[in-house]
Amino acid sequence: MPEIKLAIDAMGGDNGPSIVIEALAQQLHECSSHHFFVVGQSDSLTPLLQQHGLHEHPQVTLINAEQVVHMDDKPGQALRSKPNSSMSVALELLSKGEADAVISGGNTGALMAKAYFQLKTLPGVLRPALMAALPNQQGGRSYLLDLGANASCDSETLFQFGVMGSVAAQVLENAPSPKVALLNMGEEEIKGNDVVKNAALRLTESEHVNYQGFVEGNHLFSGKADVIVCDGFVGNIALKSCEGLATLIVEQLKSALMSHWMYRWFFRFLQKRTQKSWERLKPDHYNGASLIGLRGVVIKSHGSANAKAFGSAIRQAIIEAQAQLPERIKDRVESVLLEQH
């Protein structure tokens, strides 16, 4: 596998640089062939790198960037007033070809705006999309996009998301012909609004997508489709609603289990014995949403990620960069555009 150069925005995320450097230290043990640009305020980062024995590590280069994009900065403001932020400098390394991928746990809106502005979309791609993997009942993963890069989409954009998602599932899951579906409020052709209906027509016509039709929300986790497409408004709300429900269930389960010593004891026992099957469902395991459709690999780590979860985002970046996902998407979009003419 080729050596990958990763640019890490070390200042992003709710937990700041400490978890980023901790994650890096963990990953360095596993990735002896890659190089890491750690981008951010050197005053904060140097002691952390020293603490983990990474200060003069041959695989690590510290790149100073004085500005920090905060979690509550408005995307437009961050774009205009913070050109020297760790986020912008990391993206610059990517756009100049000095890095192969960027990972950031920072402000999602700012990351999307800066990545769009600094990298631009691939030729023919209308809009980038935020995509994440979800565990499914078949024991595999399904990819959902868009998760919030676009508040509204026209049908051509949804169609392109189907194409891009299909390439991503092929590359990341070794699926020869991933099943692509549109998320809708019913499975019948007459259901939904004009945008999804027209997107369905476009997907049905294309030879480059194995289109399966509409799926409802309950199929996000069923494995009925490998790629599920919707606009960013719907995708964001669907995913966050699930987050909300998971929190409610965990809270309820905890309060039931913690009410008696015997439950607590049993729970720990059960947890150990069934760890493998649960591991698959843990959000840590799925951290690392991909901003696809751009001229480079950009991975968004969850703001609240711990070091283990941030490590998943780093691995996701390495996989996408090694597979040259942007180039693969570019090739497919080209074929699709040729098909139309």
The residues that touch a copy of itself, with contacts defined as CB under 8 A, are 74, 109, 135-137, 148, 151-152, 183-186, 188, 190-193, 216-222, 230, 232-234, 236-249, 251-252, 255-257, 259-260, 263, 266, 270, 273-274, 277-278, 281
**Rounded CA gap, 160 and 203, in Å?**
9
Provide the minimum distance between the beta carbon of 63 and a copy of itself in the complex, in angstroms, as a whole number. Answer: 30
Q: Which is nearer to a copy of itself, 90 or 196 (CB)?
A: 196
Give the residue with the Cβ less far from a copy of itself, 9 or 73.
73
Beta carbon nearer to a copy of itself, 73 or 92: 73
The least CB distance from residue 192 to a copy of itself, in Å, is: 6
User: CA 341 to CA 336: how far, in whole Å?
Assistant: 9
Q: In terms of CB distance, is 137 or 204 closer to a copy of itself?
A: 137
CA 155/CA 161 separation, integer angstroms:
10
Could you give the CA distance from residue 328 to residue 166 in angstroms, rounded to a whole number?
11
Beta bridge partners of 229: 145, 182
CB of residue 287 to a copy of itself, shortest distance in Å = 16
Q: Considering the complex, what minimum distance in angstroms separates the CB of residue 158 from a copy of itself?
A: 13
How far is C-alpha 116 from the chain's CA centre? 15
- For a copy of itself, the closer of residues 211 and 214 by Cβ is 214
Amino acid type, 180 = V
DSSP 122: P
- Compute the least distance from the CB of residue 113 to a copy of itself, in Å: 12
- What's the CA gap between 168 and 326, in Å, rounded? 9
Judged by beta carbon, residue 249 or residue 338, the one nearer a copy of itself is 249
| Cβ neighbourhood burial of 253 (10 Å; 0-12, 13-18, 19+) | exposed
Residue among 201 and 246 whose Cβ is closer to a copy of itself: 246
Closer by beta carbon to a copy of itself, 22 or else 73:
73
Residues whose CB is less than 8 angstroms from the CB of residue 280 and which lie 6 or more positions away in sequence, other chains included: 135, 139
Q: How far is the CB of 69 from a copy of itself (least distance, A)?
A: 15
Provide the CB-side half-sphere exposure for 170 (13 A, CA). 18
DSSP-derived 3-state class of residue 133? strand
Alpha carbon distance 330, 270 (integer Å): 47
In whole angstroms, the minimum distance from the beta carbon of 38 to a copy of itself comes to 29
CA-closest candidate to residue 125, choices 153, 100, 91: 153
Are 302 and 283 within 8 A, CB to CB? yes
Q: Report how far residue 291's alpha carbon sits from residue 128's, in angstroms, rounded to the nearest whole number.
A: 6
Name the minimum Å distance from CB 285 to a copy of itself: 13
- Eight-class DSSP state of 224: S
In terms of residues, how long is the chain? 341
The residue among 50 and 271 lying less far from a copy of itself, judged by its C-beta, is 271
| Cβ-based burial of 292 (10 A; exposed 0-12, middle 13-18, buried ≥19) | buried
Min dist. Cβ of residue 259 to a copy of itself (A): 7
